[in-house]
């Protein structure tokens, strides 16, 4: 099976390469190889590679910047997906597309199921929802949330840096979801690919957290491992106290029961995976 992975240098793209099953022939590209906003360049790559599977792990993910750059965000998050589907139709390939909890508005009183109505409240969310709309019934859509990985650009590593610099941090406590280790997401994607899954699936780590909860756990676990030397005070604040250009969903927990039942596996709690990541982060120095 020949697999083309976009977003090769990103957290998920890197995890997909590290966890690829035996027998899979991988070609991996990032923005340096092909700008997804360049439709013709993207067509050329797909026509040349002729993959059996294209896993789209690339995206415009600058959530706040997207509010002023929605055209560019749409070109990468939506238009490029349309090009992928068209070209894969020509070469006989399947698209595995990674999307986000931001396609929901955060008003639910329960975890979002794959079939739930989308109602994005930000430019980033809108463009990701538009990207989803290009998929065919035979393609695979995997939504995830709050992704992080050792060595990547993410909340955990930002917290480690700030905790080594400050005595007190104010962290938003009224946005709820679940952190997701990129390695676990990659393994789920490969498992779905191996079973020829299509349609919509969700993956995040088990458990529920606010950003404040996540930060407190990072402080505790990182200090225990010696990744940070002292524990600063972590103070809960509201979203209104930390205004941003883009509106975030207040509740974006994903219901992953369909995925877990389909794969017959057990979810890993986010705090367990946080410890795994922090040990890897410590090893990186």
- Which tokens in the block code for residue 194? 């191996």
Task: Show the domain range for 80.
Answer: 2-153+179-205+252-267
| 83 in a structural domain | yes
Question: Has residue 8 been placed in a domain?
Answer: yes
Is a pLDDT exceeding 90 seen at residue 218? yes
Per the domain annotation, does 6 fall within a domain?
A: yes
Q: pLDDT above 90 covers what percent of the chain?
A: 99
Q: Residue 57 corresponds to which tokens in the numbers above? A: 């792990």
The mean pLDDT value for 188-197 works out to 98
Residue 16 and residue 96 in contact, taking contact as beta carbons nearer than 8 Å? no
Q: Which pLDDT value is given to residue 235?
A: 98
Q: Round the average pLDDT of the chain to a whole number and report it.
A: 97
How many structural domains does the chain have?
Answer: 1
Residue at 218 is within a domain: no
| 148 catalytic residue (yes or no) | no
CA distance 171 to 145: 18
pLDDT number for residue 285: 81
Q: Please tell me the predicted confidence (pLDDT) of residue 36.
A: 96
Predicted local confidence at residue 270, as pLDDT: 98
Residue range 187-207: average pLDDT?
Answer: 98
Query: Mean pLDDT over residues 18-23, rounded?
Result: 96
According to DSSP, the residues that pair with 169 across neighbouring strands are 234
163, part of any domain: no
Residue 15: pLDDT over 90:
yes
Q: Is residue 55 part of a domain?
A: yes
List the catalytic residue out of 60, 124, 148, 212.
124
Q: Is residue 222 part of a domain?
A: no
- Tell me, yes or no, whether 59 lies in a domain: yes
CATH no. for residue 88? 3.40.50.720
The tens digit of pLDDT for each residue in 47-99 reads 999 999 999 999 999 999 999 999 999 999 999 999 999 999 999 999 999 99
pLDDT, average across residues 141-150: 98
How far CA 142 is from CA of 102, 114, 234, 272, in Å, comes to: 13, 9, 33, 22
Stated pTM of the model: 0.97
CA distance 34 to 228: 38
Among the residues of 140-256, which ranges form H helices?
A: 155-163, 182-194, 211-225
* Residue 130 parent element (H or E): helix 123-132
- Calculate mean pLDDT across residues 163-174: 97
């Amino acid at each position: 099976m020949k697999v083309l992975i976009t977003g090769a240098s990103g957290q998920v793209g890197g995890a997909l390469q590290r966890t690829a099953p035996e027998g899979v022939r991988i070609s991996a590209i990032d923005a340096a190889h092909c700008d997804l906003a360049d439709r013709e360049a993207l067509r050329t790559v797909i026509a040349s590679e002729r993959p059996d599977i294209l896993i789209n792990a690339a995206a415009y993910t600058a959530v706040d910047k997207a509010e002023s750059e929605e055209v560019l965000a749409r070109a990468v998050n939506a238009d490029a997906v349309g090009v992928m589907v068209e070209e894969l139709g020509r070469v006989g390939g399947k698209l595995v597309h990674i999307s986000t909890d931001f396609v929901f508005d955060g008003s639910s009183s329960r975890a979002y199921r794959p079939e739930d109505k989308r109602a994005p409240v930000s430019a980033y969310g809108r463009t990701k929802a538009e990207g989803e709309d290009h998929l065919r019934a035979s393609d695979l859509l995997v939504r995830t949330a709050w992704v992080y990985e050792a060595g990547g650009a993410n909340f955990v590593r930002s917290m480690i840096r700030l905790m080594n610099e400050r005595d007190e941090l104010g962290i938003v406590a009224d946005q709820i979801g679940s952190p997701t280790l990129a390695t676990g997401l990659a393994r789920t994607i490969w498992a779905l690919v191996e079973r020829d899954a299509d349609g919509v699936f969700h993956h995040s780590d088990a458990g529920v957290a606010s950003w404040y909860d996540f930060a407190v756990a990072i402080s505790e676990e990182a200090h225990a491992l010696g990744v940070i030397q002292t524990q600063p005070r972590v103070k809960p604040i509201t979203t209104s106290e930390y205004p941003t250009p883009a509106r975030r969903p207040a509740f974006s927990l994903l219901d992953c029961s369909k995925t877990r039942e389909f794969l017959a596996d057990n979810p890993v709690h986010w705090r367990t995976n946080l410890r795994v990541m922090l040990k890897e982060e410590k090893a990186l120095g």
